[in-house]
Amino acid sequence: MPLLDLTASAADITRAICDIPSVSGDEAALADAVVAALSEYDHLEIIRDGDTIVARTSLGRDRRVIIAGHLDTVPINNNLPSELREIDGESVIWGRGTVDMKAGVAVQLKLAVDLVAPMVDITWIWYDHEEVDSSLNGLGRLAGNQPDLMAGDFAILGEPTAGEIEGGCNGTLRAVVRTHGVRAHSARAWVGENAIHAAAPVLARLSEYRPKEVTVEGLAYREGLNAVRIGGGVAGNVIPDLCEVEVNYRYAPDKSPEQAVAHIRNVFAGFEIEIVDLSAGARPGLDAELAQEFLAATGARPKPKYGWTDVARFSALGVPAVNYGPGDPSLAHHDQERVPVAQIETVEAGLRAWLS
Amino acid sequence: MPLLDLTASAADITRAICDIPSVSGDEAALADAVVAALSEYDHLEIIRDGDTIVARTSLGRDRRVIIAGHLDTVPINNNLPSELREIDGESVIWGRGTVDMKAGVAVQLKLAVDLVAPMVDITWIWYDHEEVDSSLNGLGRLAGNQPDLMAGDFAILGEPTAGEIEGGCNGTLRAVVRTHGVRAHSARAWVGENAIHAAAPVLARLSEYRPKEVTVEGLAYREGLNAVRIGGGVAGNVIPDLCEVEVNYRYAPDKSPEQAVAHIRNVFAGFEIEIVDLSAGARPGLDAELAQEFLAATGARPKPKYGWTDVARFSALGVPAVNYGPGDPSLAHHDQERVPVAQIETVEAGLRAWLS
């Protein structure tokens, strides 16, 4: 098993955990390494649920903060092992997971072992399966198996925010839009019906769609509607009888999941639609007392979070939650994913200042 | 190994060989059964090349006719085992392969063992891999390995023609049309570029395309342009960076393969195009002496062949060739593929009358 040295800098820990690949479903090696590294520290109680790890202080403080991050990444695309690069005079760590979200996890791991006596009790959570279907999400599984471990007064998720504080999140919906046809030999196409040709209006509606920007509690949420998968075809000489277009709708937190479904049914009116994934967004939640203290201590500027994040799970449990982590979220899942070393240090300093 | 009784009726042989599945690449069991059944007859010399079987008479006749059919089928789609059905008062054999082209093969197998002293020497050929990429085609392989086995004065391919005589064939081209984009997290789609959305004009051009009808040597050839496969997508939350649309163009025999390629490059101008399969068509060839005798003996009406068939391979070797077989070609590859028993009997009688 690779050894993790949590006394190293957060930047070095970032590289070390990026170089243990952990594409969703394959987090065990990284989770093992994290548990092994943490087990040397007596001030933390460690609980493991699958590849989700909980580490808690029990100092009898009157408030408890949850600080969480996911261990998994989207698939690697020729962008590992990590590299330390100099771009426009700035040191960056390049590679899959640097932004989403191993730099954030590295800061958390370092502070978890450093902060022996924080001003609040802390529950650290590192979890699996964030980048895939929400039914597999490790935090969701933990909420079902051991909900007491997720109790607290405030939660911070280390998703990339470029060192700003991002409130709430967009909701997300995935749907499969299907067209049907009739198979026939492609030499006599006129006796069949081509299901791929029938999907032409689906792609036309997607390419013509103009996403909205919606203001919620003073923060402007940008929406999006995209095809994420398309498939169809039987053989090179057969008119295809089925075409499937999977779309992902990211919707502002002014809408309920039901309203999001209604919108998609409207956009693709006339087509067969199956909703395959649906998660509510979260309102910003920056009016909570600990959120206000946290904003003041870090001096960071509140912004909207575009991506769906697990703040919505805390929000649903009644725990106000924000996103705060290093990395430009525009580079999440990008082939050129990379995080400035300075941002890792800023986020580490911000959290340390507030928690000490 | 299943036993084939070639003294049964052609209809019964049709059912027997349909019930030995032989999707392209999986023809060995059927080829084994055919070789075993033929090996009991002394008037035939048997040669095997992979799953292609050649059976020849050597009677010293001054003319030789080649009669050929393929053993493979497109994938099964809940349409095996075969069934004998009564539809609108007509007996039909229903199931995968009945039309394309095991009824034709059954007639050939029966006549191969019955016609001990035909009026011409006959080379019977049953071959593999007709329904897939032309580079795998068993007849093409035989032409390369043992071209002397394909020498002759006239060739008849048992492809389905509903008992008519179909001259020549359309050419066929397959191409992959590709669109590219830039991956990004689907929550921030605006920093990526969606390759599936970029394929909207490709599907629009396909669905708006109006195929031509072209008259060649008095026969009207109907063309077609169809998507046969589409694929794209990385994960449910990633903007896809690649989309591929595979198209199949069936073109009249007035065009060369080069002209067909130029047409496709014109239709999809502005897109990346890769030609993945290209086969010339064949002109009707009904002016050959044996073709005229055959037309007269059967009394059948000459028509154009829409689908590409291996008559083009004989045509390229200088052997005039026509298609003649039972089964409505509109039902080839169809889920409701079925052949009338009466048509099997008509084709058997036509060939027997001419060859005896």
Tell me the DSSP string of A221-240.
EE-EEEEEEEEEES-TTEE-
B48/A contact by beta carbon, under 8 A: no
Encode pLDDT of A143-157 as tens digits: 999 999 999 999 999
pLDDT at A217: 80
Residue B44 to residue A35: CA distance in whole angstroms: 75
Q: B228–A235: do the CB atoms touch at under 8 Å?
A: yes
* Choice among A72, A131, A246, A310 that is catalytic: A72
Please name the amino acid found at residue A24: S
> Is the domain of A210 the same as that of A98?
no
> Is the domain of B23 the same as that of B156?
yes
List B47's β-bridge partners, or say none: B54
Alpha helices by DSSP H, chain A: 10-18, 28-38, 103-114, 138-145, 200-208, 257-267, 289-298, 311-316, 341-355
Residue A203 to residue B234: CA distance in whole angstroms: 17
List A263's β-bridge partners, or say none: none
Strands B224-233 and A224-233: antiparallel
List B116's β-bridge partners, or say none: none
Please indicate, yes or no, if residue B260 is contained in any of the structural domains. Answer: yes
Nearest to A224 among B133, B186, B308 (CB): B186
Decide if pLDDT at A287 tops 90.
no
User: In this structure, what are the phi and psi dihedrals at residue B174, rounded to the nearest 5 degrees?
Assistant: -120, 140
> Is the domain of B100 the same as that of B164?
yes
User: Which has more confidence, A117 or A316?
Assistant: A117
Residue A147 to residue A149: CA distance in whole angstroms: 5
Window 262-301 of B, Cβ < 8 Å to A: 277
> Of B250, B279, B308, which residue is a domain's last?
B279
B40/A contact by beta carbon, under 8 A: no
Q: B233–A246: do the CB atoms touch at under 8 Å?
A: yes
Chain A contact probe: residue of B77, B239, B333 with most A CBs at under 10 A: B333
> Of B251, B279, B307, which residue is a domain's last?
B279
> Is the domain of B60 the same as that of B127?
yes
pLDDT at A308: 82
Q: Mind giving me the DSSP string for B271-286?
A: SEEEEEEEE--B---T
- Give every CB contact of residue B61 below 8 A, 6+ residues apart in sequence: B118, B119, B120, B121
> Is the domain of A187 the same as that of A39?
no
Chain A contact probe: residue of B196, B242, B274 with most A CBs at under 10 A: B196
Residue A139 to residue A145: CA distance in whole angstroms: 10
> Is the domain of A260 the same as that of A239?
yes
> Is the domain of A292 the same as that of A249?
no
Lowest mean pLDDT among A94-98, A240-244, B61-65, B307-311: B307-311
pLDDT at B298: 86
Provide the CATH number for the domain around residue A325: 3.40.630.10
Contact B229, B178 (CB under 8 A): no
Please indicate, yes or no, if residue B318 is contained in any of the structural domains. Answer: yes
Contact A331, A167 (CB under 8 A): no
pLDDT at B241: 97
Look up residue B91 and give its two tokens. 């007996």
> Is the domain of B111 the same as that of B134?
yes
- The radius of gyration of chain A's CA atoms, rounded to the nearest angstrom, is 22
Sign of the dihedral defined by the CA atoms of residues A200, A204, A207, A210, in that order: negative
Q: How many residues does chain B have?
A: 356
Which residues in chain B are closer than 8 Å to A187, comparing Cβ atoms? 170, 172, 224, 250, 306-308, 329, 332
Nearest to A189 among B188, B226, B230 (CB): B226
Chain B contact probe: residue of A135, A196, A310 with most B CBs at under 10 A: A196
> Is the domain of B158 the same as that of B202?
no
pTM of the model: 0.71
Please indicate, yes or no, if residue B17 is contained in any of the structural domains. Answer: yes
* Choice among A130, A166, A223, A348 that is catalytic: A130
Residue A91 to residue A343: CA distance in whole angstroms: 10
Strands A52-56 and A121-127: antiparallel
Nearest to A111 by CA among A156, A162, A75, A165: A156
Q: B224–A198: do the CB atoms touch at under 8 Å?
A: no
- Give every CB contact of residue A265 below 8 A, 6+ residues apart in sequence: A273
Residue A255 to residue A125: CA distance in whole angstroms: 29
List A172's β-bridge partners, or say none: A250, A279
pLDDT at B338: 97
Catalytic annotation present for A72: yes
Window 138-197 of A, Cβ < 8 Å to B: 170, 172, 174, 182-192, 194, 196-197
Nearest to B174 among A133, A228, A236 (CB): A236
> From its phi and psi, is residue A161 left (phi > 0), alpha (psi between -120 and 50) or beta?
alpha
Please name the amino acid found at residue B131: E
Which residues in chain A are closer than 8 Å to B250, comparing Cβ atoms? 186-187, 189
pLDDT at B284: 83
List B248's β-bridge partners, or say none: B174, B226
User: Residue B14 is inside which H or E element, if any?
Assistant: helix B10-18
Q: Quick check: bond before B147 cis, omega within 30?
A: no
Residue B337 to residue B64: CA distance in whole angstroms: 33
> Is the domain of B212 the same as that of B265?
yes
Residue B72 CA: distances (Å) to CA of A186, B29, B130, B150: 17, 11, 7, 20
Which residues in chain A are closer than 8 Å to B248, comparing Cβ atoms? 186, 236-237
pLDDT at B250: 96
Sign of the dihedral defined by the CA atoms of residues B82, B83, B88, B90, in that order: positive
Q: B184–A224: do the CB atoms touch at under 8 Å?
A: no
Is the confidence metric ipTM above 0.90 for this complex?
no
In the A/B pair of chains, how many CB contacts fall below 8 A? Answer: 237
Please indicate, yes or no, if residue A187 is contained in any of the structural domains. Answer: yes
Contact B178, B242 (CB under 8 A): yes
Please indicate, yes or no, if residue A5 is contained in any of the structural domains. Answer: no
pLDDT at B137: 96
User: In this structure, what are the phi and psi dihedrals at residue A336, rounded to the nearest 5 degrees?
Assistant: -105, 30
Contact B332, B100 (CB under 8 A): yes
Nearest to B139 by CA among B177, B193, B101, B83: B101
Please name the amino acid found at residue B25: G
Residue A14 to residue A82: CA distance in whole angstroms: 9
Strands (E), chain B: 45-49, 52-56, 64-70, 83-87, 90-94, 121-127, 154-157, 165-167, 171-180, 213-216, 219-222, 224-233, 242-251, 272-279, 302-304, 321-323, 338-340
List per-block mean pLDDT (blocks of 10 residues) for chain B, which spans 356 residues: 91 98 97 96 96 97 97 96 94 97 98 97 98 92 93 94 91 97 92 97 98 90 96 95 98 95 98 95 85 87 85 88 93 93 96 93
Encode pLDDT of A176-209 as tens digits: 999 999 999 898 899 899 999 999 999 999 999 9
pLDDT mean across residues, chain B: 94
Nearest to B238 among A182, A186, A333 (CB): A333
B100/A contact by beta carbon, under 8 A: yes
Please indicate, yes or no, if residue B2 is contained in any of the structural domains. Answer: no
Strands A64-70 and A83-87: unpaired
Q: Domain range holding A18?
A: 10-169+282-355
Provide the CATH number for the domain around residue A182: 3.30.70.360
Please name the amino acid found at residue B310: D
Which residues in chain A are closer than 8 Å to B331, comparing Cβ atoms? 191
> Is the domain of B150 the same as that of B180?
no
Nearest to B255 by CA among B270, B266, B269: B266
> Is the domain of B75 the same as that of B155?
yes
Contact A92, A23 (CB under 8 A): no
Catalytic annotation present for B130: yes
How many C-beta atoms lie closer than 10 Å to residue B144's C-beta?
9
Please name the amino acid found at residue B73: T
Window 307-346 of A, Cβ < 8 Å to B: 307-308, 329-335
Q: Quick check: bond before B119 cis, omega within 30?
A: no
Look up residue A336 and give its two tokens. 């050129």
Please indicate, yes or no, if residue A3 is contained in any of the structural domains. Answer: no
Please indicate, yes or no, if residue B3 is contained in any of the structural domains. Answer: no
Q: How many domains does chain A have?
A: 2
> Of A264, A279, A294, which residue is a domain's last?
A279
Calculate how close chain A gets to B272, using CA atoms only, in Å. 18
